[in-house]
Structure 1
Amino acid sequence: MGMNDARRDFLKLAGLAAAAPLLPLPRLAFAQASATAGDVLVVVFQRGGMDGLNVLVPFAEDDYYRLRPTVSIPRSGSGAVIDLDGRFGLHPALAPLQPAFAAGELALVHATGAPSGSRSHFSGMDIMERAALEQPNLASGWLNRHLQSRGGGSDFQGVGLGHSVQRSLGGAAPVLGMAAFEEFALQTRSARADAMAATLDALYAGTATMDAVAHTAFRAMDQLQHADPAQFAAANGADYPATTFGRQLQQVAQLIKADVGLEAAAVDIGGWDHHNDELRLLAPLLDEFARGLAALRTDLGPLMSKVCLVSMSEFGRRAYENASGGTDHGTGNCLFVLGGGVAGGRVYADWPGLRDADLVRGDLAITTDYRSVLAEMLRKRRGETALAQVFPGFAGTMELGIFRAGG
């Protein structure tokens, strides 16, 4: 069939389906087929600038309470911190993560971040997700560059959950983007859906980039339909939050269980920009975050031994509270690492202190470049050998020992 004939047939089919129009295809790009070893990476981005000082609380420091006389988490009594090591404690809303910490599967890193010092949401997220501070014109994301380094995988090697593919996944290595499994399909109520799909496939049978993307889109839709990851109900009593974040984490678990070749998934949770009324607003968001991660761990059970989750935010908050019961944009922050290959049960911190002389323009100082955490994770849990390609210009070689080798 020639291209003109195919287009004519498509128009005929579209005419028959006029009462139920064809909806746009999902945002997609796709990979070659080949398997790679290592943990499945799950990258969570807490968008908005999480207040690490009220999440991983330095409760042993009097300066924390001096700087935050009303916006602080108490040492004892109602709403007190969950003591981790006598120095740092979790916000009480993070209680669902305490079992993972006690089991040695959760580690936290404090006084970390991107040394750019950006306090802009857009710039901060862009910097963190590209992870190429020394090459500001490099557009690709660190996670995509890692997938490029490892070579081709399945069509589902990299998946971004949400309404747009995360910047960390952007680049030359093909990845998928989907908001939900049910939306990852040819959306039509026409009785001739199969014929429409075949005709669309024929429309893009050439060798151009768009043809390759469209052709692989149909293949990926077919693979997802046959794998049917939605068949895998939450196991072991796992209870995901009934939120977008909870549903997307559950879908990550379902893709892992369906064995479609997932290597890296990116998920977002927003709402962390607490310039006012922080104590009231932060707690429910942390509860959602903690219950989501705890449910993923419970749901996957033994499979969690080959999963590594890292969660970060674009920047932290100022060390001192503002006049509105909140905190303003800062720099130094904390991040979470969860998984079977994590040397957890510890807070990793080259702690700079919170005395006025210790602060950098009113912020918690960054003493650990977050790329050192990501680089160690990729080397030990994914076997990455081209770290200079993944993190160009980053000369850091010090590893904190957060991960066990053997991914």
Structure 2
Amino acid sequence: MKKTYILLIILAVLLINLPVKADNEIIIPFTEIKINIKPNVVEYDLSDSHIVYTTKEDNNYTLYLYDLDQDQTIIIAEQEGAKFEPSIDDQNLVYVQSEKNVMLYDIELNADLEEKITERITSSYPYETSLNPHVQDNKISYTRWFYNQDKSICQVYDLITKENKACESIIGHHQTNQDHHLDKVVWQDDRNDVNNIYLHNFTTNETRNLSDNGLNHYFPKVYNDIVIWDTKDQIYVKNLIDNSLQIISNDKAAIFSSDIDNQNIVYQSNPGGNYDIFLYNLITKDQIPVTFSLAEDKAPKIFNNHILWLRYNTGGQYALYYKNIKPYTDKLFTQLTLETIDSSSVQISWPETNTADQYYTLYRSELTGSIGEAVADHIKDDSYTDNTITANKDYYYTLRLVDVNGDQSILTQ
């Protein structure tokens, strides 16, 4: 809450459901959970209900599927000498078998089967391999390497039509680190002697270079009409609708290893000396620390309200940690604009980011540090006019978000 004098038009930053540290750094106040999994994790992915991960012992790799609701783990596959590179959505799990073929595991189909069934999606020939699969929206994107020609291409397999498409007809260079969402696929491409980020839209059949500025760009991710990628020490955010480019940076440390879901970007950075996980909301445009660990927290992934990351412990092993950021996702904090109408009225407005099943409650207090009383409830609009104020008095406003289940944010500190 910020102090406001009603005879002035001012901008007040209002923090929703986020306690504030002594240095005014906003933190997400949810307890992190260490996942009940095997040690020595080397790779992982998550959905709303499952986590898939690989462990390594000597030169042997084991692929596990962990059920978040049931707290149960099953073994999907084992192999020697090669990672599985798993990816998961709500129904499907894909992974690479022995550095050759992409395999599909239907989570729902196999739920009640004693003998698990997998389906081979790709077929590799001599000097070829399929790597880095990603599953989402009934599609699997992956990279196909041709070792004897020293080139790789990005491909997308449709699980419904069983059709396999190349991301682009032009080949002869390296297309790697692909990602897809809906009708768009992005990848890293070195055709111009630097690594650029390319996008192909299967609906319009258009291919674009998104990052042609002479720098190297890596590991693109796409969600709807937003594409993000890493540079040496920054994250680029490309809006495909208005073609705007935003750069996320930290003047104290490099930021990288980014991931996106909906309006939220997660990444790792070490402004305090050791690596922590941070979250950036595209609506509010602020960077929020997710972890404050003395250990090293790295390589975060985000799916809906869930963040998963790897923690390097002092014993020399990696373990997975998990945090549910609901109800902060898409609504970490907002800005209040206060405009005086007359001596007894002030209009309070904010960016409208609530969904159909959410509403706002507005509180007013005459004391700093106090939420006061509700002056309006079940607000669905992006503004409210308070007609019950008195001139030359100080007022403190707090906005609270409530969803259809009655879940609401805690008080602003």
TM-score category of the 2 structures, normalised to the smaller one: under 0.3
Q: What is the TM-score of this pair, normalised by structure 1?
A: 0.27
Q: Which has the larger radius of gyration?
A: 2
Instruction: Indicate the structure whose relative CO is greater, using CA pairs within 8 Å and at least 6 residues apart.
Output: 1
Q: What is the TM-score of this pair, normalised by structure 2?
A: 0.27
